[in-house]
Amino acid sequence: FMGACTQPSSLCIVSEYMTKGSLFKILHSNNEKERVRLTLEQKLKMACDVAVGMHYLHTSSPPIIHGDLKSPNLLLDANYTVKVCDFGLSRIKTATKLSVGSKMGTPEWTAPEVLQSSTSSEASDVYSFGVVLWEIFTGQVPWEDVNAMQVVLLVGFHNKQLEIPTNIPQAIQD
C-alpha cells in the first residue's frame, strides 16, 4: 500500500499511518491521555527500533545520513513500534563526502561537529541517537531550559553534554 505519485500538480507519497504519533508527543504531552508510562522493556524496544532503522540507513549502498534524528521524527504505530521519518535533511554519502552541503537539524539533538558547521557523518546520527536515548530514559526534553542559540554555543563550542542520571541502568549509561 506504499507508493508515490510524481505527476506535476498531483505530487504525493503514500505511507503507513502511524497511529500513536511521534515519540516526542508520547514522552512529553501535556495531555495525560496522550502521555504514556513506558516500561523499561518498552523503552529498550523503542531504542532498538531506532537503532535498527539507523543501521539500515547507514549500511545502505550508498549510505544515507539522516541529519535530523530527533524524537519528533520518530513515529509509533499501534504496537509502539518506532519508525524513522522526515528525511528532509538526509544526505547520500559518496566516498567520504555528503552529496549536498551539510545543514543543521534541531540544535538540541545535533552533534557538536554539525553545530560547528563541520562535516557530518554516521557518527553525527549516532550522537543524535544518544540524545534520543537520554530523552527516552529520562522522560525530559533535551536542553529544556536553554534556548537553541545557547545549545549551539554550549554543545558546539564548550563541549557541554546532557547529564546522565544515575538511576538509568548502567548498560544504558555506558
The catalytic residue positions are 68
Q: Which one, of 102, 118, 101, lies nearest residue 155 by Cα?
A: 118
Which residue, chain included where needed, has cell 549510505?
63
How far, in Å, CA of 103 to CA of 42, rounded?
32
Which residue, chain included where needed, has cell 548502567?
170
Residue 97: count of CB within 10 angstroms of its CB: 12
DSSP 28: H
Which residue, chain included where needed, has cell 547520500?
92
How far, in Å, CA of 140 to CA of 158, rounded?
22
Which residue, chain included where needed, has cell 531506532?
50
* CB of 137 closer than 8 Å to CB of 43: yes
